[in-house]
Structure 1
Amino acid sequence: FEDELYYVCHDGRELHHIRTEKKEQSGYTQTFEVYGCADCSGCGYKAKCLYKYNAEKDAEKNKVMKINEQWEVLKEESHANIQSEKGILNRQIRSIQTEGHFGDIKENDGFRRFNYRTAEKVYKEFMLYAIGRNINKYHRFLHDEIKKFEGKTEEKTA
């Protein structure tokens, strides 16, 4: 319920807004709204609701949940984009394109493992490989081994 800032749990109890928390990590700030139940005693869902609930030790524990509202908005927007007609088409195309390139790199070029182990060196090695691959592709394009894509053409079937 947005007007009164509270949620309702499975047992019908209200979780009211307690506080706002901020967490900073890697230069980004996350804002969490914390909601909690005043009394969860006698709740039938307590064992499912609370993380690592032990009836003997945690009898006095109450439900607390943190909501990052900005994250929820972005998640809904992303879900809407994925389920749109354009999103479905992009997913179909993306799944085909990516596999083809990695398969080509592995099978046709024989690139199966990196020579270096640190993340920085692996990144540099792969960038050099990608530059070489793009130069090779450009060379083939210049010598008309690769034609410019102009759309699918009609083919006659037998």
Structure 2
Amino acid sequence: MEYDAFYKNKYGRTEELYECESCEGCQLKNDCCPKASKNRTIQMNRSIQAEGAFGILKWDKSYKRLFRRGEKNVILELTLISCGFNLYKYHNKKQRNKSPA
């Protein structure tokens, strides 16, 4: 595969396009791209789904760095942060569902 293009779409996500140099003589062309008359092109989007939670932790909760060293301690710290974040979300959901007094 050859690196073809690298750009941002209108939503700000990074997209990468890869295109094969030549599909002529390829044994798998019929299985790979049976309807296409051009070379095989693959589009890859950088996912932004996980960034929402990290953005909230970094910006809203002012959590900037890990304070523990070592693999087990880092896993412990991230687990505690995740539990706290989930409790925060659960609490907010319960508060929204309460009827006004």
Q: Which category of TM-score, normalised to the shorter sequence, fits these structures? A: 0.3 to 0.5
Scaled by the length of structure 1, the TM-score of the pair is 0.32
Scaled by the length of structure 2, the TM-score of the pair is 0.48
